[in-house]
Structure 1
Amino acid sequence: MKISKRIQNLEPSVTLAATAKVRELKAQGHNVIGLTVGEPDFTTPDNIEQAAIEAIKSGAVSFYTAAGGIPELKEAIIQVTKRDYEIDVKPNQVIVTSGAKFALYALFQTILDKGDEVIIPTPYWVSYGEQVKLAEGVPVFVETVLETDYKVTVEQLNAALTDKTQALMLNSPSNPTGMIYNEKELRAIGEWAVENDVLIISDDIYARLVYNGKHAPYMAAISDEIARQTIIINGVSKTFAMTGWRIGYAIGNAEIIKGMTDIVSQSTSNPTAVSQVASVEALLGDQSTVREMRIAFEERLNTIYPKVAALPGVTLKKPQGAFYLFPNVKGAMEMGGYDNVTTWVNDLLEQEHVALVTGEGFGAPENVRMSYSSSMEDLEEAVVRIRRFIENSQK
């Protein structure tokens, strides 16, 4: 059987692979602490579930919807965008998709021709580059460093700019680093994009998960000119503990949104009807559980961060948002004679049954990603095991 070159060249998701390995080992009876998964460990709030149940019982969600989303959900997105970004958008500037990941996929399929380039600062979420390649585009990775909080500068963007540059991928708060761009930094990047006619893809999926008094400004809220140059990617998965419901959305230029809608109409068709109704309640209903989850994540971060930062051979800055730590483990690797972070991660799993995600899939071959979307007990035990692994590897 023939397999296409695009599939042969596709790198599988390291996060999904790591999570699958954890489930496999747990099924075999191993006491594995999995810190791989990129989702809240809370269940969906009751009011959202109840809205879904009522919609099912009424028969309202038994049928196809419009490919780009039901009007009620688009209106909810418009209201939330007005509240958070202070910008006005129209229904034809909004598309609802089967997860924010598919919003990105449809966007790249819409804006890229063969050879078009997308600038992606590293470290980056694992699917950005692969989705660009699936659209026959070229991901142009720009390396950032711990000393600058893993944030890209205008000078670096100028160095990466070519006549084939179509877009810049920006994620704040970042998966995997948890770092946030401030308003001054966003303005400088936004004005650079406007000046060079580069589309900004602003992945805002973690924007409400920020901690310790920090604030995550929105790129599209900086100015009207920058807003017109920006496509917003968002969804309900992280903020509302709805990863399984698969609802994302994109906001921006009406022509691009129409193109994305055409992609959806020939691929997934409409997002799941009941999930769309539930998402209306998520966006417009009671927000108290959102606050409770954010406070819980903040407590875990403040408890676990100093313990991880104190591990031998580990370098780490405190994240400001999302729910990940992204420590540099180069020193720990060298102590144990390792020259490959994936091997280090695999041996940690085999010997101590702690599952992390290799940084190689994020464009950071000296780092690992640790999710603190887990119980405090598991997080503290994981640090004990990691320390033991590092110390034993020196013997």
Structure 2
Amino acid sequence: MPVFDVQQFRQQFSFFQHNPGWVYLDNAATMHKPDAVVSATSQFYQQHNSNVHRGAHQLSQQATRLFEQARTTVCRYINAKSSEEVIFTSGATAALNQIAFGLMHTVLGAGERVLLTQLEHHANIVPWQLHCQRYGVIIDVVPLTADNQLDMTAYQQLLERKPKVVSFSHISNVLGHIQPIDAMLALAKKAGAITVVDGAQGVVYKQPDMQQLDCDFYVFSGHKLYGPTGIGILYGKKDWLEKLTPIFAGGEMIEQVSFVNTTFNKLPFKLEAGTPNIAGALGLAAAIDWLQLYNTEQLIQHKLLLLKEFYNGLSVIKGIDILSLPVHNAGIVALNVSNEHPADVAELLNQQNIAVRSGQHCAMPLFSYLARPGAVRCSFAAYNSLDDVNRCLLALEQAVEILTA
């Protein structure tokens, strides 16, 4: 396999030309956009700006064609059966809310159970939790093992309670641990559950295949896949999408409306109320087209090299408490300096132009479980280099010296 050329990859991002002194390790929060994506969004506004689906004029028809081509690009990338199964949303959070609220009254009822894991992002906790408070739905939570991996024995035991829905992250946004989703989905299916996968971190790690995964729903955000912010995808099997009650109403999702009754449009429009983020959809499609110019395995191996060097460097810095395991890791490392607040560590790194995230990373229940106030999160992307790793390690070493002096 040819060696991955990180410099050539990095040159596709104007951000690094404008910010040459920065080491950007906050990729789990959002990734930078290649010039191909910036160009696609700008080109839409400069050359094709018009609303979609509704106009009789040629400009609207052209915008509609581009928008639906973007949907087809996503459909092919995730290997959905048809474009009807690809719903544009504002992001993974909106998609998870549509699933949770959309299943209420059609599938979920009082006394029924939803199974989550200890690793979940707030967006995969709070929407379900609101059902507990309003409608008597019960949430069960899969605990972790001593090394912060999912307890698969406990998972199987909780499945014996026959949850109606099983919803979990493909990859932990805090720890970077890759979940055994093939096995988890198979077990959940055997238990008769509806399966939901939060692919916000997983989609950039490896191209998802909906026919292979065979989950009922899969969601992700465009900005975690080198695409624009404000655009995301709700994939669902057609039969399950049909069962979702829309949580937004108006515009394109209507077929017939009167003051007495409303009939919803067919999929995918039924779940896409109002003017969509057209430029965002085109930017996401451009990100997918651009990303497919590169070998996925090369990108994975490059990130594994960065992780290996990072862990090797951390091993010789005294006072570092590492929460993430190096194995089955997609490129995210959560750590702390012993007895120091993570915000102080992050600020010292910021002073050296090292961009990391500190806090609880929208996963407060996880940090309560771990009995930690939060963590510093270093998350790597394919445009990061070994020099980035070394600069971060040096900055961490200096931060430890300052804080523990």
Question: If the TM-score is normalised by the length of the shorter chain, which range does it land in?
Answer: 0.5 to 0.7
When residues 91 and 286 of structure 1 are mapped into structure 2, their CA distance, relative to the original with a 3 A threshold, is closer
- How far 1:221 moved relative to its partner? 0.9
1:214-233 to structure 2, matched below 5 A, reads 221-222=212-213, 227=214, 230-233=216-219
Aligned to 2:227: 242
- How far 1:97 moved relative to its partner? 1.0
Out of 41, 46, 50, which is 1:52 matched to?
Answer: 41
Aligned to 1:128: 124
Partners of 1:375 and 1:78 in 2: CA distance: 29
SS in 1 for 2:317: coil
User: What residue identity is the alignment partner of 1:221?
Assistant: Q
Aligned to 2:310: 304
Partners of 2:73 and 2:112 in 1: CA distance: 34
Q: Output one character per residue of 1:58-91: Cα deviation in whole Å (capped at 9) or x when no partner.
A: 43x4214589x95323322332233xxxxx5233
Identity %: 14
Partners of 1:89 and 1:167 in 2: CA distance: 22
Out of 82, 102, 113, which is 2:94 matched to?
Answer: 102
Gaps of 5+ in 1: 1-30, 83-87, 339-343
Partners of 1:128 and 1:348 in 2: CA distance: 28
Aligned to 2:149: 150
- How far 1:34 moved relative to its partner? 7.5
When residues 237 and 132 of structure 1 are mapped into structure 2, their CA distance, relative to the original with a 3 A threshold, is same
Partners of 1:205 and 1:276 in 2: CA distance: 16
When residues 265 and 119 of structure 1 are mapped into structure 2, their CA distance, relative to the original with a 3 A threshold, is same
How many residues are treated as equivalent by the alignment?
330
Partners of 1:270 and 1:152 in 2: CA distance: 43
CA contact (8 A) 2:101 2:245 kept: no
User: What residue identity is the alignment partner of 2:222?
Assistant: V
User: What residue identity is the alignment partner of 1:311?
Assistant: I
Aligned to 2:333: 325
- How far 1:235 moved relative to its partner? 4.2
CA contact (8 A) 1:52 1:278 kept: yes
Out of 287, 293, 316, which is 2:292 matched to?
Answer: 287
CA contact (8 A) 2:78 2:210 kept: no
- How far 1:379 moved relative to its partner? 4.9
Aligned to 2:186: 191
Aligned to 2:172: 174
1:348-363 to structure 2, matched below 5 A, reads 348-349=345-346, 353=350, 356-359=357-360, 361-362=362-363, 363=366
Aligned to 1:80: 77
CA contact (8 A) 1:110 1:256 kept: no
CA contact (8 A) 1:144 1:150 kept: yes
When residues 133 and 145 of structure 1 are mapped into structure 2, their CA distance, relative to the original with a 3 A threshold, is same
Out of 376, 390, 397, which is 1:387 matched to?
Answer: 397
CA contact (8 A) 2:342 2:358 kept: yes
SS in 2 for 1:263: coil
CA contact (8 A) 1:95 1:261 kept: no
CA contact (8 A) 1:93 1:254 kept: yes
Partners of 2:328 and 2:116 in 1: CA distance: 21
Out of 342, 346, 362, which is 1:345 matched to?
Answer: 342
Greater mean alpha carbon deviation, residues 304-313 or residues 344-353:
344-353
CA RMSD of the aligned region, Å? 3.9
- How far 1:262 moved relative to its partner? 2.3
TM-score scaled by length of structure 2: 0.66
CA contact (8 A) 2:26 2:380 kept: no
User: What residue identity is the alignment partner of 2:217?
Assistant: I
Out of 60, 63, 67, which is 2:51 matched to?
Answer: 63
Gaps of 5+ in 2: 1-20, 55-63, 251-271
SS in 1 for 2:197: strand
Out of 141, 162, 165, which is 2:163 matched to?
Answer: 165
